Amino acid sequence: MPEAEDEALRRLPPWRVKPAVFLDRDGVLNEDAGYVHSPDQFVWTENAPEAVKRLNDRGMLVIVLTNQSGIARGYYSEDEFRAFTAWIGEQLAVHGAHVDATYHCPHHPDHGEPPYRCVCDCRKPEAGLIDMALADWSVDLEHSVMIGDSDRDIEAAEARGIKALKFEGVDLLAFLKQNGLV
Ligand SMILES: [Mg+2]
Ligand SMILES: [Zn+2]
């Protein structure tokens, strides 16, 4: 599909505005083993695919917002990150689930080389990743929520007035149920 047409479809008219669940990736969708970037390192948190499917079924947008300073640090490239993101999508599809979009920050203020070594506005707790998502999608912010395992996730959401929940548990589906999201 040509990009412009795709863009038009994604910019839904107001009556198609949807609530979003913004998910941090490492520590929420998958176990945070530190700079996870390949299938052999990837372990779902408990019931994560089912949790995403339930959000899909409720008609909520599922948007992943993830700091990936491993790119700045030279542990993996942006292309490798994108290929890995596609692989995660394939694993979700096995469960009938999908992530609508993933936005990442490849930067770090101190590590690596420019252009990745920089003070950016997208590395959480900055809210730039949220702004990127909001530029692309018609989101009902009032009924949206961020789920993260770090204070940075919470701060980023609160900077845009989005409700934020800290996931410290094990089972993502149980967490969604406890918080009345599914
Ligand atoms: Mg995390
Ligand atoms: Zn950034």
Q: Residue 24 catalytic?
A: yes
- Give the domain 24-137+159-177 fold: Rossmann fold (3.40.50)
User: Which residue out of 26, 32, 40, 121 is catalytically annotated?
Assistant: 26
Tokens for 102, please give them.
Answer: 């993933």
Q: Output the pLDDT for position 16.
A: 78
- Do 181 and 55 contact (CB within 8 A), yes or no? yes
Which listed ligand is nearest to 78 at the C-alpha?
A: 2
For residue 34, what are the CA distances in angstroms to 13, 25, 30, 75, 80? Answer: 40, 12, 11, 11, 16
Distance between CA atoms of residues 5 and 12, nearest Å:
12
- Do 103 and 66 contact (CB within 8 A), yes or no? yes
For residue 39, what are the CA distances in angstroms to 7, 83, 84, 86, 107? Answer: 30, 10, 7, 11, 22
**Which portions of the chain are predicted below pLDDT 70?**
1-15
Q: Output the pLDDT for position 1.
A: 46
- Do 24 and 145 contact (CB within 8 A), yes or no? no
Q: Output the pLDDT for position 10.
A: 61
Alpha carbon 157 to its chain's center: 12
**Domain locations along the chain:** 24-137+159-177
Residue 105 known to bind ligand = yes
What confidence tens digit (pLDDT) does each residue in 34-77 have?
999 999 999 999 999 999 999 999 999 999 999 999 999 999 99
Residue 24 known to bind ligand = yes
